[in-house]
């Protein structure tokens, strides 16, 4: 086992790097000075090679063909979202009334609603308040028809109680 100090290790690594760099430089000089052709390459090429050598390079396409490339927004998604997914993502509209409570008894089912002006109204199923038609009333909520959609409403929590 050989033990080296830090300074000895650095000198050893520096010497190794110098030897490798000199070898790399010699190899590069040797490649640039020696011809790359072999004796076979100096002979006449076969007929197939002559046909490809005489063929003209393919013509460049006009810039109008690449117009779609520079008009494309590279930050946009690669596909358009389905219209059904966008329609489902929209939340239902919020009705202008809040449900304060319900009374559910046989023959007497009411919902207590607060309108946008702050007035409290007792409404049965089938009646309207502020353009919102009441479709169903249960013990813990109501279902109303607003903007062509049925929207469920829950009883509003009491403040501080």
Tokens of residue 44, six digits: 């006449």
pLDDT score at 58: 76
Write down the pTM of the prediction: 0.43
pLDDT score at 85: 60
> How do the pLDDT tens digits run along the chain, 161 residues long?
778 899 999 999 999 999 999 999 998 888 777 665 555 555 555 555 555 556 677 778 888 888 887 788 878 887 776 777 656 666 767 899 999 999 998 888 999 999 989 999 999 999 999 889 999 999 999 999 998 889 899 987 766 44
Residues with Cβ within 8 Å of residue 98, at least 6 apart in sequence: 113, 114, 153, 156
Backbone angles phi, psi at 50, to 5 degrees: -65, -40
Nearest partner of 114 among 155, 161, 159, 160, judged by Cα: 155
The radius of gyration computed from the CA coordinates of the chain, to the nearest angstrom, equals: 43
Please check whether residue 105 is in contact with residue 97, taking contact to mean a CB–CB distance below 8 angstroms: no
Give the C-alpha separation, 52 to 46, whole Å: 10
pLDDT score at 120: 93
Tokens of residue 88, six digits: 């489902």
Nearest partner of 108 among 124, 84, 92, judged by Cα: 124
Alpha-carbon 76 to chain mean position:
9
Give the C-alpha separation, 48 to 60, whole Å: 25
pLDDT score at 137: 94
């Amino acid at each position: 086992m050989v033990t080296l100090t830090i300074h000895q290790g650095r000198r050893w690594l520096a010497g190794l790097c110098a030897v490798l760099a000199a070898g790399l430089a010699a190899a590069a000089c040797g490649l640039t000075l020696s011809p790359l052709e072999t004796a076979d390459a100096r002979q006449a090429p076969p007929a197939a090679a002559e046909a490809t050598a005489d063929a003209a390079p393919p013509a460049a396409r006009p810039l109008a063909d690449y117009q779609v490339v520079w008009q494309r927004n590279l930050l946009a998604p690669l596909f358009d979202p389905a219209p059904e997914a966008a329609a489902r993502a929209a939340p239902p509209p919020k009705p202008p009334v809040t449900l304060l409570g319900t009374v559910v008894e046989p023959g007497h089912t009411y919902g207590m609603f607060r309108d946008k002006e702050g007035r409290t109204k007792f409404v049965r199923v089938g009646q309207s308040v502020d353009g919102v038609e009441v479709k169903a009333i249960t013990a813990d909520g109501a279902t109303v028809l607003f903007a062509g959609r049925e929207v469920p409403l829950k009883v509003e929590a009491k403040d501080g109680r």
